Amino acid sequence: MLDKASNAPALRPAVGYLRRSTDRQDQSLGDQEAAIRRYADANGFVIVHLYTDDAISGTSADNRPAFQRLIADAGNGHCDFRTVLVYDIKRFGRVDNDEAGYYRHLLRKRGIEVVYTSEGFTGHDTDEIVRTVKQLQARQESKDLSKVTLRGQLTSVHAGSYLGGVPPYGYDYLYLDSSGRPIHIVRYNEKGEKLLLHPETGDLDRLIPQGEHLTGSKEDRIKLVPSSPDRVAVIRRIFEEYLAGHGYRAITNHLNTEGIRSPRSREWDPQFNGQWGLSTIRCILTNPVYAGDTVWNRITQAKFYRASVKGVVERRGPSRRVRDPNPREDWIVTPKTHEPLVPRSVFDAAQDLREKRHATGKHTKHPRGRGYYSNYLLSGLIRCGDCDHKFMGYAQKSRALSKNPSLPRHRYYLCGGYVTKGTSVCKRRAYEQDPIETFILSRLQARLETFVKAGGDKALRQMIREAIAAAGADPQKTLAEVQAEIARLRKDVDRLLANLTAANRDFVDQKLGEIRRRLHDLEAKQDDLRVRTTQTPDIDGAVAAALAQVRRIRDVLAQGSIVEQKELLRGFIAGIVLTPSKDRGAITWYDLPASLMFGGGTGDEAEKMQIGAWREAIRWGREGWRQAA
């Protein structure tokens, strides 16, 4: 929504930022916009644009698209505003002071100020302290609400209620009011749309598009009920086929070949391909919900707290991931909460069979990230040109090997589309491990030999000069910025000490600790920059180190561990595409990794030089792998 531009020269361009945490706060966005416009009219601003995050939590800035778009627009060369008007500190974000200060700093560097229209700031130096305290309060309110919400969820789970989200495949949601009267049935289709069905007749009352929320009362309860007969039949068929001796891949292949719709299609999310996969079959076979039990707390995705099996709400430890799996002992299982789709005896038999298969190696348990340490040098590098899945390592199995494990096992690379989804996705085409790995290593050796013989030292010298020229900021300029920030922080220390009272001592101590840590980092950076400003890049030394790296590469290829060889290859190869239907492929090479030019370790993804990346066509024939004509 745009305001009509005024001809009055006194009006200053500004944008408004609106946010509400839930779509049930019906008046929130309208109230915020009205307040911002009143402030703009009274203080000489004209609002040129509104950025709105609707039904999005403010506990982080990363998941707010409108907020991130505002920051990006402020940084481009055509920014047409110098002020951001926000209703209050909570709307800007219930983030901590570090995160809020970071984004205000980014805007201020671009000449843009954030104005909170309802906070009553006066423009005095005390605003800094008041804003910091209010930001802390907003953050703490969010933490307290998180704790209360988690306790409420625990109570609902123990009472046998389902907490929402997407129902397990084969089930629908039955919404009940506070008196237990059915309101409607909600069924998700493969596009992510919600079908509201009449609870008695099953007729379609309304279709809710994907992304649109279903509003209701806080007193409503959710119960799982069996979905359409065809979906229930699929679930029962999966258990029957598994107990009849079929594996995950065989069941997956049967469903895909018959064209049975999978739970999610590309229209739901581009990450899904609309086909059944091994992980989906495994999740169905291991989910106690199909035996009539409700299982909750298998993962933790709350920001501040987590729940344990004893019903205790405790602080969540530090984690880099939004979703963390909980140990099995912390799962909360409420038995017999809804109608089962398979008898408990069938579900238990499936679990027993899984345990037996694990014991015999038919379901091999692997630690997370096993590809990094596997004996397949090219794991993760090869992609299928027919179905776009990655190739996987595969060791041949036979009765002879099971009787005599000392026999050599033939190893291959197989398309992951075939391995996980069957022939309905990709045909079986196995490439022996040794020939393709030997060919790739020989091609790398040949490239290095050609590089050295063709005057590689001259090419390295030129590439190093170009890298130094494009290295970034001038150390002298960066040093001046660091010194200015150090001076500002020391003034902040003086101001905090001058305003120290018994009432704000804890807050001042906390702020002084933060400033001391920041000063420690800046002073270390200052010392480093002072040394760099007095140094002249030693290009000849860098070239000599790089050529020494070439000699080291030969040693790694000949004698290095599998991990070292994998890291080395990923420094030179951007990717490999093999097209089984044509027995052809292509290798995409990097010219050289930056770590080679500067004498560092190999394989750092962040340091790969992609200058002049080029593709080399290859083909498979009777004589093995070779360059294509």
- Judged by DSSP in three states, 424 sits in coil
DSSP 390: B
Tokens encoding 581:
């239907």
pLDDT number for residue 15 = 93
Output the DSSP codes for 291-345: GT-EEE-SEE--SSEEE-TTS-EEEPPP-S-S-EEPPGGG-EEE-S-S--SS-HH
Could you give the CA distance from residue 382 to residue 578 in angstroms, rounded to a whole number? Answer: 7
Inter-residue contact 80 to 13 (CB < 8 Å):
yes
Burial class (CB in 10 A: 0-12, 13-18, 19+), 247: middle
pLDDT number for residue 338 = 87
pLDDT number for residue 102 = 87
Mean pLDDT per 10-residue run, the chain (629 residues)?
49 90 64 90 90 82 86 83 91 83 87 88 73 75 64 62 77 85 88 87 86 70 88 94 86 87 83 82 90 78 60 57 66 83 92 80 47 72 89 75 67 86 84 87 77 63 58 68 87 81 76 80 75 58 61 63 72 86 87 46 36 74 80
SS (H, E, C) 584-610: EEEEEECCCEHHHHCCCCCCCHHHECC
pLDDT number for residue 603 = 36
Q: What is each CA distance from 236 to 190, 346, 347, in whole angstroms? A: 19, 10, 10
> Which residues have C-beta within 8 Å of that of residue 508, sequence separation ≥ 6?
496, 497, 499, 500
Could you give the CA distance from residue 107 to residue 81 in angstroms, rounded to a whole number? Answer: 11
Tokens encoding 380:
């993760």
Report phi then psi at 265, rounded to 5: -110, 180
pLDDT number for residue 542 = 58
pLDDT number for residue 169 = 92
Tokens encoding 140:
């703490």
Q: What is each CA distance from 146 to 140, 306, 602, in whole angstroms? A: 10, 10, 44
Residue 133 one-letter amino acid: V
- Helices (runs of H) and strands (runs of E) counted in the chain: 19, 23
pLDDT number for residue 285 = 93
Could you give the CA distance from residue 412 to residue 392 in angstroms, rounded to a whole number? Answer: 8
Tokens encoding 195:
């079908």
Inter-residue contact 277 to 283 (CB < 8 Å):
no
> Which residues have C-beta within 8 Å of that of residue 28, sequence separation ≥ 6?
20
pLDDT number for residue 560 = 62
Could you give the CA distance from residue 387 to residue 430 in angstroms, rounded to a whole number? Answer: 15
- Judged by DSSP in three states, 391 sits in strand
Packed helices 278-286 and 229-243: angle between N→C axes, nearest 10 degrees: 90
